[in-house]
Amino acid sequence: MEMRPFKPFGAVSALTLGGGGLGQIWGQTSREEAVATARMAVDCGITHFDMAPMYGRGEAERVIGEAFKGADTSRFHFTTKYRLGHVDHAITYDKLNASLTRSLATMGIERADLFFLHSQLIEDGHVLYQLDEHRDRLATPRSYFFESVIPAFEQLQKEGKIGGWGFALGQESALEAVIASDTPPSAVQCVVNPLNSAGNIAYTTETFDGRKILEACKQHHVPTLAIRAVQAGALTSAMDRELPADDADQRDFDRAGGFRQLASEWGETPARLAHRYALSIEGPSSVILGVKNREELSECVEAERTPRLTDSQCKQIEAACA
């Protein structure tokens, strides 16, 4: 598998095994199959594993702990996350440290190479487009992030518990402000798919522009990892769960009919073509996968082994999603 430059690790595999599928967020699997999938990822050349306690209430991290129990993991990199929200300054470090400590113990590792904020960054006082009644649980205000969260991350770094820190989604202006600041993140997880959509997790603003965040990271030389390559199943052949017609992910699936037609014309499966697209976009060092079994992983590995798409082909794919 291609190894790409990635400042936090030096280099990283072009594909990263994420925890969403292993934690059964994207359809059911078994612990046995999930463990086999993690071990297969190693055989395929994957060196990075991106987990979080929210993926199946710790299930994804338990899978990693079982998959690598007793193994030499020195050549691999592990990341985890925590949905901090907005808590009192006095307990910010304690909340982050407690979650991190549980994650490390569950995965059987001593240090997380990256620790990501799993709540979404917003401007102070911003009213969420959806779910505002849960704002303190789901979102982290920018001033609080600078004043309390970054110092807590830096303390964890000094203690040797994490190698660096980062974040993913939120209100564009808040994300851009931190990316451009004197204390930028070690890495950012950026939405990369031809729909340019984060689906139903884009609840901070009515329209979230993932490409805008990726460009900000490129401009300020902040390393990136691609997420949502198949946009929660919207860019696959069929959704793996029942959703109401007005669900954002279902609307994306309906909008992607032209993409599926193009994939068929090119002799590709939609999921494979979506991963080829994410792998071909300039900027991200690795594409984080949400696969739940070895069959899905194989399809992604095949995509990685296929030549990268041209700019013209990528634009054609984007047009099919318009």
Confidence of residue 240 (pLDDT cuts 50, 70, 90): confident
Confidence of residue 227 (pLDDT cuts 50, 70, 90): very high
Give the per-residue pLDDT at 53: 96
Give the per-residue pLDDT at 24: 85
CA dihedral sign of residues 287, 292, 293, 296: negative
**Taking a C-beta distance cutoff of 8 angstroms, is the pair 306, 244 a contact?**
no
**Taking a C-beta distance cutoff of 8 angstroms, is the pair 228, 193 a contact?**
yes
Determine the Cα–Cα distance for residues 186 and 179; give it in Å rounded to an integer: 9
Determine the Cα–Cα distance for residues 229 and 259; give it in Å rounded to an integer: 13
**Superfamily the domain 3-320 falls into:** NADP-dependent oxidoreductase domain (3.20.20.100)
Query: What number is the average pLDDT over the span 150-177?
Result: 98
* pLDDT exceeds 90 at position 207: no
* pLDDT exceeds 90 at position 3: yes
User: In the chain, pLDDT over 90 holds for what percent of residues?
Assistant: 95
User: In the chain, pLDDT over 70 holds for what percent of residues?
Assistant: 100
- Identify any residues that bridge with 82 across adjacent strands, giving them in sequence order: 117
Give the per-residue pLDDT at 83: 97
Confidence of residue 25 (pLDDT cuts 50, 70, 90): confident
Query: What number is the average pLDDT over the span 37-64?
Result: 96
> Could you tell me which residues come within 8 angstroms of residue 186 by beta carbon, excluding any fewer than 6 positions away?
7, 8, 114, 163, 164, 165, 166, 223
Give the per-residue pLDDT at 175: 98
Task: State how beta strands 3-6 and 48-50 pair.
Answer: unpaired
